[in-house]
């Protein structure tokens, strides 16, 4: 009986944690870019391809450098792709700033990271992200 109770408690905790994770996600938009160096955070040092640039809402005078965000596509922005989202998430490291007016999204993903969660032909997607 105690073993069953422990299993139920563990399952309940796992469900609660997943709900908290979903509830704490922030909505935004994502675009992608293809030129990765130099970056505002690391200059000409290459940090791989699962990277992103932060819009001013995340940049915080460079404090965003090195932060990791998990990003999930939630839908298209009417760019013409019938089903732009792919299932799953991608985790990226902030290595650059995406300054206005060129920045069209909350997070500007590398093309490789964008391709993990969405069809690049969409260009801009709606997202949920967590730190």
What pLDDT is stored for residue 23 in this prediction? 61
Which residue, chain included where needed, has tokens 């640039």?
53
Across the chain, what does the average pLDDT equal?
Answer: 86
Question: For 72, phi and psi rounded to 5 degrees?
Answer: -130, 135
CA gyration radius, the chain:
17
What pLDDT is stored for residue 6 in this prediction? 52
Give per-residue pLDDT as tens, 63-107: 999 999 999 999 999 777 889 999 999 999 999 999 988 888 999
Task: Give the Cα separation of 50 and 68 in Å (integer).
Answer: 10
Give per-residue pLDDT as tens, 25-37: 999 999 999 999 9
What pLDDT is stored for residue 122 in this prediction? 94
What are the structural domains of the chain? Answer: 26-130 (2.40.40.10)
């Amino acid at each position: 009986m105690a073993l069953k109770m422990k299993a139920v408690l563990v399952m309940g905790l796992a469900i609660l944690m997943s709900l908290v994770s979903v509830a704490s996600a922030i909505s935004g938009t994502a675009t992608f870019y293809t030129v990765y160096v130099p970056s505002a955070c690391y200059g000409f040092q290459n940090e791989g391809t699962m990277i992103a640039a932060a819009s001013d809402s995340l940049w915080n005078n460079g404090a965003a450098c090195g932060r990791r965000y998990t990003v999930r596509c939630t839908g298209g922005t009417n760019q013409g792709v019938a089903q732009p989202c792919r299932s799953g998430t991608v985790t990226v490291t902030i290595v650059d700033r995406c300054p206005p007016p060129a920045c069209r999204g909350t997070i500007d993903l590398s093309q490789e990271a964008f391709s993990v969660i969405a069809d690049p032909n969409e260009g801009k997607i709606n997202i949920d992200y967590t730190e």
